Amino acid sequence: MSHVIPYIAAIQEAIREEMERDERVLYFGQNMATSPEDPFLKQFGPDRVRVTPISETAEIGMATGAAVAGYRPVVELYMAEFLLVATDQVVNEGTRFHFMSKGQVSVPMVMVAGYGFTAGWAGQHTGSIYGMFMGVPGLKVALPSTPADAKGLMTTAIRDDNPVLFFQNYLLLLDEGEVPDGEHSVPFGVADVKRAGSDLTLVGTGYAVRTALKAAETLARRGVSVEVIDPRTIAPLDVDTILSSVARTRHLVLVDQATRHSSVAAVIAAEVAELGFSSLEAPISMVTALDSSIAYSKPVEEFVLPDEHKVIRAVEASLGLAPAST
């Protein structure tokens, strides 16, 4: 049995259920729980649900300290760029403690941040900056593309004993989808085949999974069978599922809203080039954002971002198909 809810509601559902299940789970951040009518505050009380000042370094650092001291904090950071204000706390503090202490401490915390608000938010609030964090030892990075995965990955994130960076996409917040009833968790490091296919492997990351699925749908009407893979977590990254798909399809196109050299696509391309080169019948193709900041004005914003048509062109080139008129 399942129910249909928006992506953002699925995330909130996971946090609420985990707070009900485990009283060590805390939930805090800016501009939340300021009204006594706030549902989390009403249900869980002011010990566990708190508003903070606009102090990302303190928020993430306090989550780290509370985690070391035995709690499981979820810190709501709103926009991914706000992580950059507190980068040391994101990548160079709690991520190191289990290692440096030889396992004496662990840091079970979740940092929730939205990315890719490409709806006129201009240069400083629209980045797809998840790739910056995928090579940090000790840090796990979740990047859900559907409501079901959003709930399942958040459940797993809260239960994980390590720092987890949970990236939610701003454009997907109101997208509705089926979410399994009851307890629902999605394992980290297990990619999901969102659409099976045999001619070409298309890997999307986060929001780009939707772009990839739209392109695959259009290509299917032309008789081209595209397999769409969603890694779901980029640290750990399930390279094996991609390699086994490429072993069948022999063609790989990667779609990512990040700029080319800080994209997950670049990492996947390198892995497949090293481990799956003999499977390939065509060069790997990366469809990413162009190397620019995102503009405020819509036509300029759209120009730099990957879209369905750019993906279709890349698939056609990989398979040696004549471009369809669009």
Partner 1 sequence: MANANPTDGSAPAALDAKRLAWMYTQMYRIREFEERVKSTFTEHPGILRGHTHLADGAEASIVGSIAALAPDDQIVTTYRCHGYPIALGTDMKLMMAEIYGKATGLCGGLGGSMHLYDVARGFLGGSGIVAQAIPHATGAAWAAQIRRQGQAIVCFFGDGASKQGAFHESLNVASVWKLPIVYVMENNHYQASTRTDQEDANAAHGEPLSTKAKAYSMEGVTVDGADPVAVHATLADALARARSGTGPTLVESLVYRLSAHGNLIAPPGVPLNYPEHEAIAIFGNREEYEAALRGDPVPRFRHRLVTEGALSAEDADAIEQAAREEVDEAQRFALDSPWPAPDSGLDYVYA
* Type of residue numbered 16: R
Residues with active-site annotation: 125
Residue selected from 44, 48, 265, 284 as contacting partner 1 according to rule CB under 8 A: 48
What string of DSSP letters covers 200-221? EEEEE-TTHHHHHHHHHHHHHT
Pairing of strands 226-230, 252-259: unpaired
| Rama region for 315: left / alpha / beta (φ>0; ψ in -120 to 50; rest) | alpha
Minimum distance of partner 1 from residue 76's CB (angstroms): 15
Min CB(86)–partner 1 separation in Å = 9
Cα–Cα distance, 233 to 252 (Å, whole number): 19
Question: Taking a C-beta distance cutoff of 8 angstroms, is the pair 236, 140 a contact?
Answer: yes
Q: Which stretch binds partner 1 (CB under 8 A): 66-74, 222-230, 246-254, 284-292?
A: 66-74
Q: Given the rule CB under 8 A, which of 30-38, 67-75, 178-186, 221-229 is the region that contacts partner 1?
A: 67-75
Asked if residue 182 binds partner 1 (CB under 8 A), the reply is no
Selected binder of partner 1 within 31, 43, 92, 124 (CB under 8 A)? 92
Question: In angstroms, rounded to a whole number, what is the distance separating the alpha carbons of residues 93 and 107?
Answer: 10
Per CB under 8 A, the segment of 106-114, 258-266, 267-275, 279-287 that binds partner 1 is 106-114
> Residue 65 CB, nearest distance to partner 1 (Å)?
3
H or E, element range at 27: strand 25-30
Binding residue for partner 1, selected from 1, 36, 37, 137, defined by CB under 8 A:
137
Question: What track of x and - describes contact with partner 1 for positions 8 through 47 (by CB under 8 A)?
Answer: ------------------x--------------------x
Label the pairing between strands 49-52 and 25-30: parallel
- 72 touching partner 1, by CB under 8 A: no
- Between 43 and 55, CB nearer to partner 1: 55
Question: Which alpha helices (H) appear in the chain, and where do they start and end?
Answer: 7-21, 39-44, 56-68, 80-85, 87-91, 94-100, 147-159, 208-220, 239-249, 264-275, 298-304, 308-319
- Applying CB under 8 A, the residues found at the interface with partner 1 are 26, 47-48, 50, 52-53, 55, 57-71, 73, 88-89, 92-93, 96-108, 137-138, 140, 161-162
